[in-house]
Amino acid sequence: MDVTALPRRPVADCTAAEVAAALNAGFEGYLVPVRMDAQGYERRFRGEDLDPFSSYLFGPPGRPAGVMLVARRGWTSRIASLGVAADWRGRGLGRHALELAAAEARMRGDHALLLEVFEQNSRALALYERLGFRRLRRLYGHRREPARPEAVAAAAALRPADPLALSRAVLRAGEGADLPWMLQPETLAKAAHPFRAVALAGEPVGQAPLALLRDPGTEAMLLTALFVPPDRRRQGLGRRLLDALAAAYPGRPWLIPQIVPEGPLDAFLLAAGWTRQALNQFDMRLDL
């Protein structure tokens, strides 16, 4: 079948379970396979500002050929996820979906279409560049092994913080527009359970370093945001916060997903003893 003739349904007309199943099928065998249920899908993509009317499942109900999720903010759209089922790969469905997303974005008057792709996924990267996407920057993921006992004993304490305070702090600093989508204030503002925010205890409200994290149980701890007010940087507060996080979960390694832009934050994490993960992403943009 010609992929342009495949039936498609807006995500708005699909159940969360259907979308989750299409994501799992679309990323089977991928560099980072997806294992998602309906609740996980809703929690993640609502926070990214998913537009269910611009996002599609391709193929007949119950037999998804592919899925494309589009997030939108103002004049900017983003491919939040694009997966093609194994028996439809290499037949042009990914290209067809991207061309559809770009055409609809132009009709809305959007100025840009964004996406992220693993640098190691050479086939997808080549497709995006053929379609006119350009590389903006690399995005790294990081790992920290469990802290030494002496470092844990000397670490500062943490206090709970409102995730919305983290979002507002980034916004006040005027840095949000230059950040990747997953670190922008609009994303951070929607952080909800099981994510939670913490701050260094003893630091003044509004001036304390803040972090956003998730405890998945027995796996590595997940750190998804770290912020120090600009006028308090280079004073060791960021490293104190990282040590306090390690002390709060002794014996647990830490992971940061591939959302850290190359530059000062990446350099800070490396200096603080974190190592880069094997996979990294490119932040890409198509001007419309």
Average pLDDT of the segment spanning 1-8: 87
Average pLDDT of the segment spanning 72-94: 96
Q: Indicate whether 71 pLDDT > 80.
A: yes
Q: Indicate whether 151 pLDDT > 80.
A: no
Percent of all residues in the chain with a pLDDT value above 70, rounded to a whole number: 97
Check residue 7 and give its pLDDT. 94
* Banded pLDDT at 178 (limits 50, 70, 90): confident
Check residue 147 and give its pLDDT. 74
User: 223-264: per-residue pLDDT in tens?
Assistant: 999 999 999 999 999 999 999 999 888 889 999 999 999 999
Average pLDDT of the segment spanning 30-58: 93
Check residue 237 and give its pLDDT. 93
Average pLDDT of the segment spanning 73-91: 96
The full 3-state SS of the chain, as one line of letters, equals: CCHHHCCEEEHHHCCHHHHHHHHHHHCCCCCCCCCCCHHHHHHHHHHCCECCCCCEEECCCCCCCEEEEEEEECCEEEEEEEEECHHHCCCCHHHHHHHHHHHHHHHHCCCEEEEEEECCCHHHHHHHHHCCCEEEEEEEEEEECCCCHHHHHHCCCEEEECHHHHHHHHHHCCCHHHCCHHHCHHHHCCCCCCEEEEEECCCCCCCCCEEEEECCCCCCEEEEEEECCHHHCCCCHHHHHHHHHHHHCCCCCEEEEEEEECCHHHHHHHHCCCEEEEEEEEEEEEEC
Check residue 217 and give its pLDDT. 84
pTM of the model: 0.94
User: 182-231: per-residue pLDDT in tens?
Assistant: 999 999 999 988 899 999 998 888 899 999 999 988 789 999 999 999 99
* Banded pLDDT at 50 (limits 50, 70, 90): very high
- Looking at the domain 3-110, which fold is it? Aminopeptidase (3.40.630)
